[in-house]
């Protein structure tokens, strides 16, 4: 599943608000590009202080998009793009 390049992603985790972006190469978080959303989500959780075992996550539900960028017109996890196809 290809997400739109330039799509801005955000999350809320442990009183932090990490941001990422979809690029042609993958998911860019804090200057590093990851192949999939789960790897970028894990990096964000580790930055927020999660342990290695607690940082594992499903990036498709961790990362959110704003209503204006969502196919549903509502704030939603990026998984909404897979459901819309």
For residue range 15-45, what is the model confidence (pLDDT) as tens digits? 999 999 999 999 999 999 999 999 999 999 9
Name which of 15, 11, 4 is nearest 69 in CA terms: 4
1 pLDDT exceeds 70? no
For the whole model, what pTM was predicted?
A: 0.90
CA distances 78 to 8, 34, 51, 60, 72, Å, are: 10, 15, 24, 5, 11
Quick check: helix, strand or coil at residue 83? Answer: helix
Answer for the pair 16, 30: CB distance below 8 angstroms, yes or no.
no
Assigned token pair, 32: 């590093």
Using DSSP bridges, classify how beta strands 27-29 and 32-34 pair: parallel, antiparallel or unpaired: antiparallel
């Amino acid at each position: 599943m290809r997400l739109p390049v330039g799509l801005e992603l955000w999350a809320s985790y442990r009183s932090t608000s990490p941001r990422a972006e979809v690029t042609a190469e993958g998911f860019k978080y804090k200057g590093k590009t990851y192949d999939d959303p789960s790897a970028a989500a894990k990096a964000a959780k580790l930055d927020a202080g999660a342990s290695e075992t607690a940082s594992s996550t499903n990036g498709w539900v961790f990362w959110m998009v704003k209503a204006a960028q969502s196919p549903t017109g509502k704030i939603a996890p990026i998984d909404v793009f897979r459901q819309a196809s």
